[in-house]
Amino acid sequence: MFKFEEDRSKYPEKNPDGTNIMDLESGKYTKIWQGPIHPGMTGNMSLELIIQGDEVMDCKTHVGYLHRGFEKLMERRKFIQCFPICVRIAVPEPDFNEYCFAATIEELAGIQVPDAAEWMRTLLLEMSRLQSYLAWIGGQSSSFGMGLISQWTTWARDLVLDRFEEISGGRVYHMHMLPGGVRSLLPYGFEARMKDTLEKISQVMADVEKVMFNNSVFKTRAVGLGYIDPLWVEEYGITGPNARGAGIAKDVRKDYPYLKYADLDFEAAVGTDSDVFTRADVRRRDILTTIDLIGQIVEKVPKSGEFMAEVPNVLHWKIPKGQTYIRSECTRGEYGYYTVTDGSGYPRRINVRGPSYTHAIALMERMAINLNIADTAGVMSSLHTYPPEVER
Amino acid sequence: MSFKDVLMPFTAWKYLVKEPVNIQKPDEVQGAPRYRGFHKNQVDVCIGCGTCEEICQNAAIDMMPVDGIETKDGDSGLRPLIDYGRCCWCALCVDICTTNSLTLSNSFKWNGTDGDDFRFIPGVDKKYWDDDNLGYVKADGLNLNPVERVEMGELHPVDRDKSFVEMITGYSKEQAQKEADRCVECGLCTATCPAHMGIPEYIKAVREDDMEEGLRILYETNPLPEICGRICTHKCETVCSINHKGDPLSIRWLKRYIADQVPADKYKEILGTDKIQGNGKKVAIIGAGPAGLSAAHYLALMGYSVKIYETLKGPGGMVRYGIPEYRMPYDQIDKDIDYILSLGVEVQYNTRVGEDIQLEDLEKDYDAVFSATGLHLGRSTGVSGADNERVYQSIELLRKVTDGEEIDVAEKIVVIGGGNVAMDITRTLARLQNQKYGKVNVLATCLESEEAMPADDEEVIEAREEKAVIDPGWGPQEIEIKDGKITGLHVTKCLAIFDEEGKFNPKFDTDQKKFFEADMIVESIGQGMDIKYTDKIKDKLEFGPRGRIAVGKNFQSKLPWFFVGGDIIEGPDVIHGIANGHKAAIGIDNFLKDK
């Protein structure tokens, strides 16, 4: 009869130099591929796992399944033509790309964005944060077998997308922040509809708190799982809720206030235990903060006035030679655009710093070791990574 | 973990009694009012400028010819075809559209089995959303290209009302580049310009501050850029696509800017015309006006030995003798013409063909002849008293001013005519009155109403700024003369100029009369041509409407060696003359190449 061997510390056996001996021919190890089809609803990347029994012995992350070469594409596009491209770099959160791209262009071209446009951008970024978190809850809960919650939050997210559709005409790719400002101000009656949406989402979040966060199954599996050592934060360049869950209060909105964040009243949520549960809880509190922020912003967005600065003819817009880095706080951490211009009508180089790059590739490889294979998807989800932004 | 954590998840059961949020009938879902759905295009407003195609980063838009839409001035006849396999619904095409004809509907549903159906021309291929009222339109206040013109500096009326100094000051480099930046490079201007100048290309040269390239582009089609840059009738600006959204580009001033920047002594080096290989063939040109000079320039470049016969004392034709110096300074005329003459073109002044030399002689001595003698005869109103010695033709007075001859300017003058020449003589006389009497008393009147006056609006405005009175809508009836001297002009209200058949047949309201006091009257109601020099070959030529010589392709008349162009064929204006001259030069080359 099969007897579970409690002590597995002798595996894997070590070489004299300390590296693991994992001979697949020995029959002790199995190699399996998790993905590239959505390992835990994060997008197309794959984990090459070497397991013994149900324990992960080694992990190699593979990306490249979504590579579309956006950064290179943009080098062959006029500045205005990059605007519809950059949003596609992070599918669930296009607005941070829009903002960072527009802001780098504005800084290099010396354009002052009108006040109303800054408020609109702040609103769009917070709405984007809200809908992205709502999508994440679905992934995180589903990866622990709670499929019901994703149905609620998908509906709640759709309500936010309805509001996006009202403002910009698009549900997923909003394309509202042109370099120089925004395309329009809020439509008539938006405030009331947004308020109604926020109330509905607050109710959903209350239910999510009861069913997911006060749930013995989730707690049993998530508490203590997927620990991120606070020392790794600097080592790996971890940002956002992954760092805040480890007790390190990093938030670009607070540390380097941009747009109108200095005029808003909020605190970024911080946790201490640095496990899957804590990170989930940090994100849940972030959602509540965002709901509050959107309420504050909607009251302050100007109803009329200039929303677009005067820009030169975009068809042959040349931007002076220069380089700049603009950052913003997205749901997953620091999102930045490093743009280099050479005085021509095309960007010389645009480098997108998405937080998923560090979280999904390097950090996941380290965290996967010794996980139970059933938990890899949950840990992956708890890092909240988007492969499209890795492969820009 | 507590007992609570075991029970709490069961609260999810309450969703069993909640109403489902599913959309029951997806077919009935409509996009938001600003939804970016399928395109709509008002094909009758669209001008086919192709700016949508230009901005589309996915190359989803192709400009296609459409049955029933003809190419005409200001309309390429093409309409955007959109490939929805490529379109990413970014709506930049809507934002940049120069006519605001392109919008998006709020419809997004599509059922089809044929992939080719997913490419269509909005507005032409009828779709169910064509009548949608909602959908994305460009918001007011959003401009991806500046639509306001960079103002051109000009002398204040106080500074210019006595002087013949050029009143337009020209663009600075910064102004010119800012203005050039507005161009969307649609090319409707090139198609409309009689000379088909490479306008977007030379505007690009201004943007890039490459004056040498700009000059080369100008001289490909127009050897008189200083002249055209000042007084061209700028049909290009009328059709400019930006005109639909704001002010058209100052194409004329940008052309002048390029020519002004390059010193005359650099022309040959830049244009590569230091050495021209002659081909031993000779061409005679009658008339040193824009058409004659243009033909001479291109023929000289082709290696022909060119000689121009000119009746007057100097070259330039109507440009020099018909346009006042404050609009067209003589030194700038000379800059253009001196360059052409430096290519080896000879001019024999004070020689009237038909009197001093005969056309048959030219036929004998030369391989081909190009005649561009222009419209130099004034037309009279023919009203009673029009034969008085103090009734002048505007053309004759303007010529005297150019030649520096003294004009006996009266204290009170009436000008009859509402065209640009009438404004020229009005403003010239206003300056001369100001110099002589210190005040202006000149009145211009014409049959046309204020709105229908053929003169450019700016001419009328500037004339009024210079204190001339413009009183349009009156028909001259009689010039009152007492003791051989003019006392004034009787006019009656003009109700209509053309009759129902469209013929010139003015109708007057005899109850509304006026009397304009004047000591001197100038008639400026159009010009006629004098082609008596062709009398001896008349039988061999064919004639078209209004006594014009019929010409074929490249302005070749029925007599193969005789080419005719300029104002006596087309126009009247400078740019037609230049275009005619260029084409005639090509025609002459074709004709002589095989000889």
Contact criterion met (CB < 8 Å) for B34 and A220: no
Give yes or no for B148 touching A (CB within 8 A): no
The token pair at B557 is 């008349």
What CA–CA distance (Å, rounded) separates B57 from A82? Answer: 8
Contact criterion met (CB < 8 Å) for A183 and B139: yes
DSSP conformation class of B308:
E
The strand order across the sheet containing B485-498 reads B474-482, B485-498, B504-517
Residue B334's closest CA among B264, B258, B231?
Answer: B264
Contact criterion met (CB < 8 Å) for B11 and A80: no
The token pair at A150 is 């994703």
Closest CA of chain B from A105, distance in Å: 14
pLDDT score recorded for residue B20: 84
The token pair at B1 is 């973990």
Measured CA to CA in angstroms, residue B344 lies from B94, B293, B366, B580 at distances of 53, 12, 16, 21
Contact criterion met (CB < 8 Å) for B21 and A155: yes
Task: Give the DSSP per-residue string, B73-93.
Answer: TTB-SEEEEEETTT-----HH
The token pair at B7 is 């029970």
pLDDT score recorded for residue B112: 85
More confident residue, A209 or B23: A209
Give yes or no for B146 touching A (CB within 8 A): yes
**Nearest chain B residue (CA) to A175:** B90
Residue A339's closest CA among A159, A155, A79?
Answer: A79
What CA–CA distance (Å, rounded) separates B269 from B246? Answer: 39
**Nearest chain A residue (CA) to B13:** A211
Residue B587's closest CA among B534, B546, B551, B536?
Answer: B551
pLDDT score recorded for residue A370: 86
Residue for token pair 């030169």? A312
A329 forms beta bridges with A334
Contact criterion met (CB < 8 Å) for A85 and B51: no
pLDDT in tens, A145-169: 888 899 999 999 999 999 999 999 9
ipTM of the complex: 0.90
Quick check: helix, strand or coil at residue B420? helix
pLDDT in tens, A267-290: 999 999 999 999 999 999 999 999
What CA–CA distance (Å, rounded) separates A260 from A300? Answer: 10
Average pLDDT over residues A37-51: 75
**Nearest chain B residue (CA) to A219:** B1
Q: Report whether B128 contacts A193 (CB < 8 A).
A: no
pLDDT score recorded for residue B501: 83
Residue for token pair 């490093």? A338
pLDDT score recorded for residue A5: 59
Contact criterion met (CB < 8 Å) for B9 and A210: yes
Contact criterion met (CB < 8 Å) for A220 and B92: no
**Nearest chain A residue (CA) to B57:** A81
Percentage of the residues of chain B whose pLDDT score is greater than 90? 65
pLDDT score recorded for residue A42: 61
CB-based burial, A100-110: b 16+ in 10 Å, e otherwise: bbbbbbbbbbe
Task: Give the DSSP per-residue string, B133-200.
Answer: --S--PPTT--SS--SPPPPPB--HHHHTT--S-SB----HHHHHHHHTT-----HHHHHSTT---HH
Q: Which amino acid is at B526?
A: G
Give yes or no for B32 touching A (CB within 8 A): yes
Give yes or no for B88 touching A (CB within 8 A): yes
Quick check: B539 pLDDT over 80?
yes
pLDDT in tens, A209-266: 999 999 999 999 999 998 999 999 999 999 999 999 999 999 999 999 999 999 999 9
- Which member of A148, A155, A210 has the closest CB to residue B8? A210
Task: Please list every residue in chain A whose beta carbon sits closer than 8 Å to the beta carbon of residue B90.
Answer: 83-84, 173, 175
Close Cβ partners of B587 (under 8 Å, ≥ 6 residues apart): B553, B554, B555, B556, B563
Angle between helix A276-300 and helix A376-383 axes, rounded to 10 deg: 30
Close Cβ partners of B25 (under 8 Å, ≥ 6 residues apart): none
Q: What is the torsional sign of CA B462, B467, B473, B477?
A: negative
Give yes or no for A325 touching B (CB within 8 A): no
- β-strand A333-341 against B61-65: which pairing, if any? unpaired
Contact criterion met (CB < 8 Å) for A313 and B57: no
What CA–CA distance (Å, rounded) separates B400 from B378? Answer: 14
Size of interface A-B (CB pairs under 8 A): 125
**Nearest chain A residue (CA) to B2:** A216
Closest CA of chain A from B71, distance in Å: 25
Give yes or no for B13 touching A (CB within 8 A): no
Task: Please list every residue in chain B whose beta carbon sits closer than 8 Å to the beta carbon of residue A84.
Answer: 57-58, 88, 90, 92
What CA–CA distance (Å, rounded) separates A196 from A128? Answer: 17
Residue for token pair 């006389």? B429
Contact criterion met (CB < 8 Å) for A211 and B11: yes
Domains of chain A (ranges; CATH) run: 8-62 (no CATH), 70-353 (1.10.645.10)
Cα dihedral: B464, B465, B467, B470 (round 10): 0
Quick check: helix, strand or coil at residue B262? coil
Average pLDDT over residues B37-48: 94
**Nearest chain A residue (CA) to B184:** A315
Measured CA to CA in angstroms, residue B232 lies from A119, A306, B469, B568 at distances of 49, 38, 25, 18
- Which member of B1, B142, B146 has the closest CB to residue A219? B1
Measured CA to CA in angstroms, residue B418 lies from A152, B28, B319, B445, B493 at distances of 76, 62, 19, 7, 15
> Taking the CB of residue A351, how many other CB atoms lie within 10 A of it?
12
Task: Please list every residue in chain A whose beta carbon sits closer than 8 Å to the beta carbon of residue B5.
Answer: 214-216, 219
Closest CA of chain B from A329, distance in Å: 25
Give yes or no for B1 touching A (CB within 8 A): yes
- Which member of B21, B36, B141 has the closest CB to residue A307? B141
Contact criterion met (CB < 8 Å) for B184 and A315: yes
Closest CA of chain A from B81, distance in Å: 19
CA B480 to chain centre: 40
Give yes or no for A306 touching B (CB within 8 A): yes
Residue for token pair 């800054």? A118
Q: Report whether B288 contacts B316 (CB < 8 A).
A: yes
Task: Please list every residue in chain B whose beta carbon sits closer than 8 Å to the beta carbon of residue A94.
Answer: none
Contact criterion met (CB < 8 Å) for A83 and B90: yes
Q: Report whether B276 contacts B229 (CB < 8 A).
A: no
Quick check: B321 pLDDT over 80?
yes
- Which member of A173, A306, A311 has the closest CB to residue B144? A311
The token pair at A1 is 């009869």
Closest CA of chain A from B254, distance in Å: 17
Contact criterion met (CB < 8 Å) for A169 and B92: no
Average pLDDT over residues A360-379: 89
Contact criterion met (CB < 8 Å) for A83 and B92: yes
**CB-count exposure of residue A75 (10 Å: 0-12, 13-18, 19+):** middle
pLDDT in tens, B271-317: 999 888 988 999 999 999 999 999 999 999 999 999 999 999 999 99
pLDDT score recorded for residue B376: 87
pLDDT score recorded for residue A3: 61
**Nearest chain B residue (CA) to A308:** B142
What CA–CA distance (Å, rounded) separates A160 from A195? Answer: 11
Task: Please list every residue in chain B whose beta carbon sits closer than 8 Å to the beta carbon of residue A219.
Answer: 1, 5
Closest CA of chain A from B347, distance in Å: 45
- Which member of A152, A168, A308 has the closest CB to residue B141? A308
Closest CA of chain B from A149, distance in Å: 9
Cα dihedral: B530, B532, B534, B540 (round 10): 110
Percentage of the residues of chain A whose pLDDT score is greater than 90? 70
**Nearest chain B residue (CA) to A210:** B8
Closest CA of chain B from A254, distance in Å: 32
What CA–CA distance (Å, rounded) separates A177 from A168? Answer: 9
CA B256 to chain centre: 14
What CA–CA distance (Å, rounded) separates B168 from B214? Answer: 21
pLDDT score recorded for residue A147: 87
Q: Report whether B390 contacts B486 (CB < 8 A).
A: yes
Mutate to test the interface with B, among A313, A317, A344 (most CBs of B within 10 A): A313
Give yes or no for A77 touching B (CB within 8 A): yes
**CB-count exposure of residue A349 (10 Å: 0-12, 13-18, 19+):** middle
What CA–CA distance (Å, rounded) separates B270 from B217? Answer: 11
Give yes or no for A200 touching B (CB within 8 A): no
Closest CA of chain B from A317, distance in Å: 8
What CA–CA distance (Å, rounded) separates B488 from B503? Answer: 29
Q: Report whether A137 contacts A150 (CB < 8 A).
A: yes
Q: Establish whether the linkage from the previous residue to B545 is cis, with ω within 30° of 0.
A: no
Q: Is residue A4 very low, low, confident or very high in pLDDT (cuts 50, 70, 90)? A: low
Q: Of B387-391, B440-444, B461-465, which gets the smallest average pLDDT?
A: B387-391
Quick check: A8 pLDDT over 80?
no
Q: Report whether A91 contacts A54 (CB < 8 A).
A: no
Quick check: A41 pLDDT over 60?
no
Q: Report whether B576 contacts B375 (CB < 8 A).
A: no
pLDDT in tens, B477-509: 999 988 888 899 999 998 888 888 888 888 888
Give yes or no for A304 touching B (CB within 8 A): no
Close Cβ partners of B406 (under 8 Å, ≥ 6 residues apart): none
Could you list the beta-strand ranges (E) of B289-362: 305-309, 346-348
Give yes or no for A166 touching B (CB within 8 A): yes
pLDDT score recorded for residue B183: 94
What CA–CA distance (Å, rounded) separates A92 from A96? Answer: 10
pLDDT score recorded for residue A6: 61
What CA–CA distance (Å, rounded) separates A368 from B41? Answer: 55
DSSP conformation class of B309:
E
